[in-house]
Amino acid sequence: MSPMLSRVWGVVSCLALVCLDPAWVAARPPGRPLQQVRYVMGTLCEITVFPVGERATLERSSRDRERDAGSAIDAAYAELRRIDAVLSNWNPHSELMRMNAAANATQRPRPWVRVSGELFERVRTALRMAEETDGLFDPTVGPLVRAWGFLPPCPTERPCGSLSRTKAIETARQRVGWHHVRMDAQHNQIQFELSDMEIDLGGIAKGYAVERAVQVLRDRGIASALVNLGNSSLKALGEPPSARAADPASGYRAPCKGWPIGVLDPRDGRSVAARICMASGEAIATSGTYEHVIGEGKNRRSHLIDPYTGDALGGETGVTVLTSDAEVADALTKPFILRPQLTTTAAGGAMLIRYPGTGVVVLSSRGGRLLEREAGSARGRVTMAGERRPRSSIRRTLAVGYFTVIRRPLEADRGEGVRPCCSNY
């Protein structure tokens, strides 16, 4: 491989919260991946696709395989754009925002609003996750997100009155509560019991979109791919060929029969703090207090809102959830970042029991030191940076090797017209 191609394929998907192991990518065999980064759903997405399989490799030329892979990637991005038109909480013309507006019509009794089967199922999933997380994940938190300034203050294109932030937050708290949403499954209808409520599906939309994108790739015959959407939601399809992760520190080569993923340090959002080997069919979601922030110093607050108190979360904390469903992973990051102690309590354990094979990793800063907590199936799946495990331990776990992050390509690759301030999710 030429030096130029080595540099191209050595550039990896190091997002704001997670990254793909660059040492592993640089050592790819001849069947190198096709990778594309595009702006979609208010953020940047990277899709990595490998050849569709050994038989296809033998029967089809390299040019044919690349054309097929490119077509599959195009179809996956088209699906992401379609989902954005349904679930966006930024676009007032999305189906979700049109439903919110119609459900807030000033008529009595409060109106039932008919929606598509897809939107109805997403809202039903969000309400189920709210119930199973005791309301720590709450899809009706939209008014609070707007009151804090992480979304435009007006959910529609009509102008709305301006309030001080304190007053706006106090008012918004009275409009939040997932149990005030009623569902009519027979007619795909939704009703709000309170005025000025808003359903915000940002807590699960990327996970759902990743699942759909992977399904599109699978339907197009792709057997090995990774979809990495907007800083936090990943889903693996199959395994990369001959995946191995190198450890230059100790000289061994630790097998990673999957996708080596790095989790970034919440203290700076740049350096790698932990590594996880992601297997076929697994999904990873992350949330961190160092992304989408307002204020500075002690007044610094993130976009993560506590639906019980109305407060925006500060501090330096990151949560990673590993499970089989990206939509569930997205939702489960919220209770564990709002209540990190759930990793060691019976309530947290009961929450995870509902989702077999699910693991949680919480990284937080205390006195400048990085603390790690694991729960569920994450135990034994995580290797912290600087941690040197013996060979026997490496064989027993799906740990990945040590690597160096080359750069943050999704920050560097933003093109003209991209509005990083306006992420939908």
Rg of the chain, C-alpha, whole Å: 22
Dihedral angle, C-alpha 194, 196, 201, 203, nearest 10 °: -90
Residue 205 in contact with residue 424, Cβ under 8 Å?
yes
H or E element in which residue 382 lies: strand 382-384
Report pLDDT for 187.
Answer: 97
User: Within 88-238, where are the H helices?
Assistant: 95-103, 117-132, 142-148, 165-173, 205-219
Is the Cβ–Cβ distance between 402 and 248 less than 8 Å?
A: yes
> What pLDDT score does 68 carry?
87
> Are 89 and 123 in contact, with CB atoms under 8 Å apart?
no
Q: State pLDDT tens for residues 301-326.
A: 888 999 999 998 888 899 999 999 99
The Cα–Cα gap between 58 and 278 comes to: 28
The whole model's pTM is what?
A: 0.81
pLDDT for res 423: 44
Tens digit of each residue's pLDDT (9 = 90 or more) over 207-241: 999 999 999 999 999 999 999 998 689 999 998 87
Q: What is the DSSP letter of 315?
A: S
- The rounded distance, in Å, linking the Cα atoms of 93 and 97 is 6
* DSSP single-letter state for residue 112: P
Q: Residue ranges of the alpha helices (H) in 254-369?
A: 326-338, 346-353
Nearest by Cα to 329 from 220, 256, 424, 233: 233
- CATH code for the structural domain at 3-81+205-422: 3.10.520.10
Nearest one of 377, 393, 50 to 247, comparing CA atoms = 393
Strand partners, 312: 305
**Which residues on neighbouring strands pair with residue 114, listed in sequence order?**
189
Beta strands in 266-331 (DSSP E): 272-278, 283-288, 293-294, 301-302, 317-323
CA–chain centroid gap for 288, Å, is 11
For residues 171 and 164, give the distance between their C-alpha atoms in angstroms, rounded to a whole number: 10
Q: Return all residues near 353 (Cβ < 8 A) that are at least 6 apart.
A: none
Q: What is the pLDDT of residues 343-394, one digit of tens each?
A: 999 999 999 999 999 999 999 988 888 999 999 987 778 888 764 433 323 2
Distance CA 60, CA 373 (A): 48
C-alpha neighbours within 13 Å on the C-beta side of residue 386: 5
Residue carrying the six token digits 């970034």: 264
229 vs 209: CA distance, rounded Å: 8
For the chain, the structural domain boundaries read 3-81+205-422, 95-199
Structure tokens at 132: 């199973």
Write out residues in the chain with pLDDT < 50, as ranges.
1-16, 21-30, 54-58, 244-254, 387-424
Return the sign of the alpha-carbon dihedral for residues 336, 339, 340, 344. negative
CATH of region 95-199, choose from 1.10.3720.10, 1.10.260.40, 1.10.3980.10, 2.60.40.10: 1.10.3980.10
Closest-CA residue to 46 (of 91, 15, 4, 25): 15
Spatial distance between the Cα atoms of 290 and 410, rounded to a whole number of angstroms:
16
Which pLDDT belongs to residue 154? 66
Tokens found for residue 187 = 């007619």
